[in-house]
């Protein structure tokens, strides 16, 4: 991994060591190629400074790396949490849909039972009404037949009665004629002179 160096910003007026010029001098001293041992990189006069800078760079890089890893982990956690919430919501929605479906099925079954009961009652009413109408029709037809038979019998009795009356009248007439004939013969005998 390439070492990354953080630039050092000079202090502002009235800053460390009493002003900007002094900070520039220190920077020139530290980064110059010559003077007081050749500065950094020329020789190892101040190895502890380089070690410290390397540690600072490593710590900074590690911090950026850890922050990036933490951000990735947080993103993964957020995505997992979001997926988990979405999964739970989908499961809840599916359970709600199933519950609503079962409720609808129960309602349909209840309605079906009510409809079947109503249809059964209506069928019974129709059968009873048709049975009553059939019985009434049979009774009416039976009565009509009985009335017709009765009329025929009455007519036969009338005819027989008329025939008997005619016979009686003829018998009475015959008897009356016989009686009148006998009376006439008796009258004639009584009024006729006796023979010699």
89-123: per-residue pLDDT in tens? Answer: 888 888 888 888 888 888 888 888 888 888 888 88
Residues spanned by the domain of 143: 73-161
In-domain check, residue 116: yes
The count of structural domains within the chain is 1
To the question of pTM greater than 0.75 for the whole model, the response is no
6-18: pLDDT as tens digits: 444 444 444 445 5
In-domain check, residue 98: yes
In-domain check, residue 37: no
DSSP string of 144-187? HHHHHHHHHHHHHHHHHHHHHHHHHHHHHHHHHHHHHHHHHHHH
In-domain check, residue 111: yes
In-domain check, residue 107: yes
The DSSP call for residue 32 is -
Residue 53 has pLDDT above 80, yes or no: no
In-domain check, residue 96: yes
In-domain check, residue 166: no
In-domain check, residue 188: no
């Amino acid at each position: 991994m390439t070492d990354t160096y953080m630039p050092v910003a000079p202090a502002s007026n009235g800053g460390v060591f009493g002003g900007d010029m002094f900070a520039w001098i220190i920077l020139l001293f530290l980064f110059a190629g010559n003077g007081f041992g050749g500065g950094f990189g020329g020789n190892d006069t101040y190895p502890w400074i380089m070690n410290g800078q390397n540690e600072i760079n490593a710590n900074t890089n590690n911090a950026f790396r850890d922050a990036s890893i933490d951000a990735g982990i947080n993103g993964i956690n957020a995505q997992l949490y979001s997926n988990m919430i979405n999964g739970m919501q989908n499961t809840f929605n599916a359970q709600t849909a199933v519950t609503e479906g079962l409720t609808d099925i129960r309602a349909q079954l209840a309605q079906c039972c009510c409809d079947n009961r109503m249809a059964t009652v209506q069928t019974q009413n129709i059968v009873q009404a048709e049975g009553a109408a059939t019985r009434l029709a049979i009774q009416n037809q039976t009565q009509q037949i009985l009335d017709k038979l009765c009329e025929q019998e009455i007519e036969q009795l009338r005819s027989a009665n008329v025939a008997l009356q005619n016979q009686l009248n003829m018998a009475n007439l015959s008897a009356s004629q016989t009686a009148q004939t006998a009376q006439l013969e008796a009258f004639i005998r009584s009024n006729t002179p006796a023979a010699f």
